[in-house]
Chain A
Amino acid sequence: MKILVCMKQVPQKDAPLKLNEGGTWIREDVSYEVNEPDAYALEEALRQKEKHGGEVVVITAGPARAQQVLREGLAKGADRAIHLDDNAFVGMDAMNISKAFVAAIKDDKFDLIFTGLQSDDYGYAQTGVIMAELLGWPHATIIMEIQKSDGGIKVKRELESGFFQHVGMPLPAVLTIQSGINKLRYATLLGIKQAKNKPLRKVTLDEVKSSLSDNMQKVEKLYIPQKSKKTEMLEGSPAEVAKKLVEKLRNEVRVI
């Protein structure tokens, strides 16, 4: 099976984020990491390849720094990488990112495309499904298991409230992968060394521009959320804080 994994670079989970001067986006001088759900998508692709053979290709869009997620993917076992290399991709909506990815892979023939179920920055949860529709492929979201079947695959979708569902579908198809579907591997030293010699294709904005359109939605303003609740902050040494908390538990919360 030939599998494409869409990966995104997002700010590190505990990185302190600051707004830019215009209040339109964050200041980008922060540490970045692989969007966690995408790491699970990559792991699943590598496991499918180990089971059924084939090829795993990782793709990302973003400035030079974004290449790091591809290097990590290659070090963990992906065979090659595609980097849509331009800062302009950071501000594109899910539709344009999807169009750019579809344009960049037009000469490839994939059986499956994986994305994480959503990104930790925008959190739209749309790119995979949009790509499926642009390609004319079926899709399934929030996937917890993938098995090969006659003429296609059978996947296990997570539903709400602890329910699951099996869905059969033909290939090619797009799946969005749920976090926790598998256990993530670490890159080995050998893997990191080998990654340096694996092919990484750069795609410029110009190469995909004719496929893009104007953004159909716009982030007008980014800001620190207004508090909806009054939070009483308790301060002091651990022992003092513990005393204050117990007093609240007794007199306000009334559970002691």
Chain B
Amino acid sequence: MANTILVVVEQREGKLNRVSWETVAAAQAIAAETGWTVEAAVFGSGISSIAGEVAGKRVAKVYALESPRLAEYTPDGVVAALKQFIEQKKPALVLMPHTYQVRDFAPQLTTALGRTLISDAIAFRKEGDKLLFTRQMFQGKFAADVSFACEPPHFATFQAGAFRGDKAEAGASAAPVETVNVDIPESAVRTKPEAPFKEAKQAVDLTQAEIIVSVGRGIKEQKHIELAKQLAEALGGEIAASRPICDSGWLPMDRQIGSSGQTVAPKLYLAVGISGAIQHIVGMKGSRSIIAINKDAEAPIFEIADYGVVGNLFDIVPALTEEVKKAKG
């Protein structure tokens, strides 16, 4: 497997996490430039149907790593399974989606293998025979090209949205699936997970909103949230926020947009005083139109905005609210 890219897809309770298709698309794109072979692995218990689903894509082979100890996710169980498998197969490159679950086990896996992980990459580039991975640094203010300086296998994770899942090519015929029964000793798993749960039912479903006015740190004080609320009201939209605002209790947690909150794609996303940290961007970059108002012209939010205003939101937002009211009569 020396010239193989291994994609480790993610499943939970028998359902494939769709972000896995993005990783398959990334692997196919890297393969197109390197000539390497793409294979995939899925781990769990009773996962043959998921393995079959992945085998429909243009991959050379799919491995189903099966163990009753993988029925519930634990980092120890997954690391035990993947470590054996990777040591035996020796792929050149292992790719995974940058999900919370992968963040939980991947650094343990690479450390156990004496390797390193380039996490949260958004793109790759081939320069000579070197693969460079692009990642955002300093909250998206800079990008960095990062290379591996160790022997393979190399490990990288891709940020959600970095590649398009619908670009993952289907194969001409289904790829072969090989079931690998992995042996995980009971003593290897040190943590006891309980079933995932949701806290109080979500009061607002922001995914259905057509217009969202979202506030970030730039709003400075709780009492100023009112300015954004008035704008949202005038536009007939919902109010939302980036994580720090909800962490401070200025708006309830169910108003949070981003990787740990809701993912939205409204007609209009109006970002007020939001700098555009990666964790926020992943939750709203699919919006049809994005307007950003921020005092910092260098704020990463302007990278993805359709319309941008650099200025003092405390002047601009009330003026805009008035103008919207006038326009609506």
Answer yes or no: do A and B interact.
yes
Binding site for B on A (CB under 8 A): 11, 13-14, 16-17, 19, 26, 36, 93-95, 98, 120-126, 129-130, 132-134, 138-142, 157-170, 178-180, 183, 214-229, 231-235, 238-239, 241-243, 245-246, 248-250, 252-256
Q: Closest Cβ of chain B: how far from A94's Cβ, in Å? A: 7
With known contacts A167-B192, A229-B304, A139–B75 Cβ distance under 8 A: yes
Q: Are A162 and B120 in contact (CB under 8 A)?
A: no
Whole-angstrom CA separation of A222 from B134 in the bound complex: 10
Q: Are B107 and A126 in touch, CB under 8 angstroms? A: yes
User: Is B53 interfacial (CB 8 A cutoff)?
Assistant: no
Are A180 and B243 in contact, CB atoms less than 8 angstroms apart? yes
Contact A179 B243 (CB under 8 A): yes
Starting from the known contacts A238-B318, A242-B319, 14 additional A-B residue pairs (CB-CB under 8 Å) come to A123-B120, A124-B119, A125-B119, A142-B260, A158-B100, A164-B197, A164-B198, A167-B192, A215-B149, A216-B115, A228-B304, A231-B306, A233-B302, A241-B309
Contact B107 A133 (CB under 8 A): yes
With CB as the reference atom, state the residue of chain A lying closest to B259. Answer: A160
In the complex, the answer to whether A126 meets B117 with C-beta atoms within 8 Å is yes
Of the candidates A122, A139, A163, which one forms a contact with B108 in the assembled complex, judged by CB atoms under 8 Å apart?
A139
- B242 to nearest A CB, angstroms? 11
Contacts of A227 in B (CB 8 A): 303
Give the one of A98, A166, A183, A227 with max B CB within 10 A.
A166
Give B228-281 interface residues, CB cut-off 8 Å to A. Answer: 235, 243-244, 246-247, 249, 254, 259-263, 267-268, 275, 278
Interchain CB contact under 8 A, A225 and B193: no
Instruction: Report how far A226 CA is from B122 CA in the complex, Å.
Output: 12
> Out of B112, B141, B308, which one reaches A233, CB within 8 Å?
B308
Question: In the complex, what's the smallest C-beta–C-beta distance from A223 to chain B, in angstroms?
Answer: 6
Residues of B within 8 A of A241 (CB): 309, 311, 316, 319-320
Q: Given A132-B108, A167-B192: A123 and B139 within 8 A (CB)? A: yes
Chain A residues whose C-beta falls within 8 Å of the C-beta of B291 in the assembled complex: 245, 248, 253
**Given the contacts A26-B138, A255-B211, A130 and B107 also touching, CB distance less than 8 Å:** yes
Minimum distance in angstroms from A47 CB to a CB of chain B: 16
At the interface, yes or no: B11 with Cβ under 8 Å from chain A?
no
Closest beta carbon of chain A to B272's beta carbon, Å: 12
Q: With an 8 A cutoff between CB atoms, is B116 at the interface?
A: yes
B2 at the A interface (CB under 8 A): no
Q: Name the residue of chain A whose CB is nearest to the CB of B269.
A: A253
Report 23 cross-chain contacts, Cβ distance below 8 Å, ordered by A residue: A14-B296, A36-B244, A126-B119, A129-B111, A133-B112, A138-B76, A138-B190, A157-B104, A160-B260, A164-B198, A165-B193, A166-B193, A168-B194, A169-B192, A220-B147, A221-B145, A225-B303, A232-B307, A235-B309, A242-B323, A245-B291, A248-B291, A253-B291
Tell me, in angstroms, the Cα distance from A224 to B138 when the chains sit together.
11
| Chain B residues at the A interface, C-beta cutoff of 8 Å | 75-76, 99-101, 103-108, 111-112, 115-120, 132, 135-150, 190-199, 202, 210-211, 217, 235, 243-244, 246-247, 249, 254, 259-263, 267-268, 275, 278, 288-289, 291, 296, 298, 300, 302-312, 315-316, 318-320, 322-324, 326-328
Distance, CA A223 to CA B148, complexed state (A):
19
In the complex, which residues of chain B have a beta carbon less than 8 angstroms from the beta carbon of A93? Answer: 116
3 nearest CB pairs, A to B: A180-B247, A216-B116, A129-B107
* B142 interface neighbour in A26, A242, A246, Cβ under 8 Å: A26
Contacting pair A168 B139 (CB below 8 A) = no
Q: Is the CB of A232 within 8 A of B306?
A: yes
Q: Is the CB of B275 within 8 A of A13?
A: yes
Partner of A220, one of B146, B199, B267: B146
Once A164-B199, A220-B147 are accepted as A-B contacts, the answer to whether A253 and B120 lie under 8 Å apart by CB is: no
Q: Which residues of chain A are within 8 angstroms of B148 by Cβ–Cβ distance?
A: 216-218
Residues of B close to A238: CB separation below 8 A? 311-312, 315-316, 318-319
| Interchain CB contact under 8 A, B143 and A242 | no
Q: A19-B142, A141-B103, A253-B289 are in contact. Are A242 and B322 (CB under 8 A)?
A: yes
Alpha-carbon distance A110/B250, docked complex (angstroms):
36
| Chain A, residue nearest B139 (CB) | A120
Q: For residue B117, which residue of chain A has the nearest CB? A: A126
Task: Output the least CB separation between B117 and chain A (Å).
Answer: 6
Which residue of B has the minimal Cβ distance to A217?
Answer: B116
Q: How far is the CB of A237 from chain B (nearest CB, A)?
A: 8
Bound form: Cα–Cα A26–B144 in Å = 11
B252: min CB distance to chain A, Å: 12
- Is the CB–CB distance between A164 and B196 below 8 Å? yes
Residues of B within 8 A of A169 (CB): 190-192
Min C-beta distance of B313 to chain A, whole Å: 10
Are B307 and A231 in contact, CB atoms less than 8 angstroms apart? yes
A130 to chain B, nearest CB (A): 5
Q: Which of B100, B105, B249, B275 gathers the greatest number of chain A CB atoms within 10 Å?
A: B100
Q: Are A231 and B149 in contact (CB under 8 A)?
A: no
Residues of B within 8 A of A120 (CB): 138-139
Q: Which residues of A contact B249 (CB under 8 A)?
A: 183
B56 CB, nearest partner CB in chain A, Å: 25
Contact (Cβ within 8 A) B194 A223: no
- Residue of A140, A218, A228 near B149 (CB, 8 A) is A218
CB distance from A27 to the nearest CB of B (A): 12
Q: What residue of chain B has the Cβ atom nearest to residue A178's Cβ?
A: B260
Give every chain A residue within 8 A of B100 (Cβ-Cβ): 141-142, 158-160
